[in-house]
Structure 1
Amino acid sequence: MDAALNDKIEVARDTLQQRVAVRLRELLIQGVLTPGAKLNERELCERLGVSRTPLREAIRLLAAEGLITLDPGRGAFAPVFSIADVAHTFDVLAALEGLAAELAASQITDAELAELRELQQEMQAAFKRHDLPHYYQANARVHDVLSTASRNPVLRETWKQLNARMHALRFRSNQDETKWAQALQEHARMIEALQARDGPALRELLVQHLHRKRDAVLEQLAGASSQPAA
Structure 2
Amino acid sequence: MNAPQLVRHSLHESLVAPVREMILNGELRPGQKVPEEQLCERFGVSRTPIREALKVLAAEGVLQILPHRGAIVARITAEQVEELFPIMASLERLAGILACDRATEADIARLGALHDGMMACFEAGEEVDYLRYNRLIHEGFFAIAGNATLSTYYQQVLTRIHSCRFVMRKSREHWLAAVAEHRAMMDAFAARDAARLGALMEAHITGTTAGIARAFIHGEPGPEPADTPDSRTGKARNR
Matched AA of 1:136: L
1:186-224 per-position Cα deviation (integer Å, ceiling 9, x unaligned): 112111101111111111111111012112211332346
Tell me the CA shift for residue 61 of structure 1.
Answer: 5.4
Tell me which residue corresponds to 2:144: 149
Q: C-alpha separation between the residues in 1 aligned to 2:73 and 2:11?
A: 27
Tell me which residue corresponds to 2:102: 107
Contact 2:164 2:213 in 1 (8 A): yes
User: Which of these residues, 115, 118, 130, is aligned with residue 113 of structure 2?
Assistant: 118
| Percentage of matched positions with identical amino acids | 28
Tell me the CA shift for residue 165 of structure 1.
Answer: 1.5
Distance 1:18 1:95, change over 3 A: closer
Contact 2:90 2:202 in 1 (8 A): yes
The RMSD of aligned alpha carbons is 3.1
Q: Which runs of 5+ in 2 are unaligned?
A: 1-5, 221-239
Q: C-alpha separation between the residues in 1 aligned to 2:211 and 2:145?
A: 26
Tell me the CA shift for residue 163 of structure 1.
Answer: 1.2
TM-score (norm 1): 0.76
**Displaced runs of 4+ in structure 1, greater than 6 A?**
10-17
1:173-196 per-position Cα deviation (integer Å, ceiling 9, x unaligned): 542133113212211211110111
Tell me the CA shift for residue 169 of structure 1.
Answer: 0.9
Tell me the CA shift for residue 149 of structure 1.
Answer: 2.1
Tell me the CA shift for residue 137 of structure 1.
Answer: 1.4
Tell me the CA shift for residue 99 of structure 1.
Answer: 1.6
Tell me which residue corresponds to 1:23: 22
Mapping of residues 50-65 of structure 1, within 5 Å: 50-53=44-47, 55-56=50-51, 58-60=53-55, 62-63=57-58, 65=60
Tell me which residue corresponds to 1:137: 132
SS in 2 for 1:115: helix
Tell me which residue corresponds to 2:74: 79
Tell me which residue corresponds to 1:228: none
Q: Between Structure 1 and Structure 2, how many residues are aligned?
A: 212
Q: Which runs of 5+ in 1 are unaligned?
A: 1-6, 225-230
